[in-house]
Chains A and B, each alone.
Chain A
Amino acid sequence: GQQVMQIPQYQHVQEGEDFTTYCNSSTTLSNIQWYKQRPGGHPVFLIQLVKSGEVKKQKRLTFQFGEAKKNSSLHITATQTTDVGTYFCAPGSGGSNYKLTFGKGTLLTVNP
């Protein structure tokens, strides 16, 4: 599968602060998916980005795909304690059942 670098590895914020995690690839990606894993839980699909420069929003979450399709970001506005978890990016190489591999993830903790 594709290799990506995800930063930061950890992020601790005060509730209400913003949070951003970045996912960078050395090669052009077909698409990228984002997942959230709560502590002790399993990954849950958040979104897929496909188009160059694409921006998608889900309430307080904003996802971006770079123009060159080599990087992506997830931004959370005004974090809440429910946002706690590890956020993973998962690069796609195309195809109907491509192998889903994950970046190392960013663990977000939120201080109430």
Chain B
Amino acid sequence: GAVVSQHPSRVICKSGTSVKIECRSLDFQATTMFWYRQFPKQSLMLMATSNEGSKATYEQGVEKDKFLINHASLTLSTLTVTSAHPEDSSFYICSARRQLLDYGYTFGSGTRLTVV
């Protein structure tokens, strides 16, 4: 089946610094990837749609200048949390799908971000 690799799995950073999270589709090409954020005991909230070769589409209320998304290749999308603050601490997770092969989306293992 499809495999989506996400790194790092955990990161602790100081307030004001930036953190980059990578999401790779290992055995398929993904023109579209999705980024979610999940707070404890809550559902996954879609943050943005990452489109290869073009600008990401952000959901309402998500600051595009704070959450920079780059989808430079068909297998890699990155999410950079800029000038992180404690309220950005969350579980970030990406997903993608093998078009024409799969119905469901495959998720990365997620990144637990803690801002101190």
Contacts and interface: CB of A to CB of B under 8 A. Distances in A.
Interface string A71-86: 0000000000000000
B53 interface: no
A66 interface: no
Contacts, number: 49
Nearest to A50: B103
B43 A105 contact: yes
Residues of A in contact with B, size category: 20 to 34
B67 interface: no
Interface of B is mostly: loop
The 10 closest A-B pairs by CB, nearest first: A45-B104, A48-B103, A42-B107, A97-B32, A104-B43, A102-B44, A102-B43, A43-B107, A42-B110, A105-B43
27 contacts: A1-B46, A33-B103, A33-B105, A42-B107, A42-B109, A42-B110, A43-B44, A43-B93, A43-B95, A43-B107, A45-B104, A47-B104, A88-B43, A97-B31, A97-B32, A97-B97, A99-B46, A100-B34, A100-B46, A100-B95, A100-B105, A102-B43, A103-B43, A104-B42, A104-B43, A105-B43, A107-B41
Given A33-B104, A42-B107, 9 more contacts: A42-B93, A45-B102, A45-B103, A47-B104, A97-B31, A97-B97, A100-B105, A101-B46, A104-B43
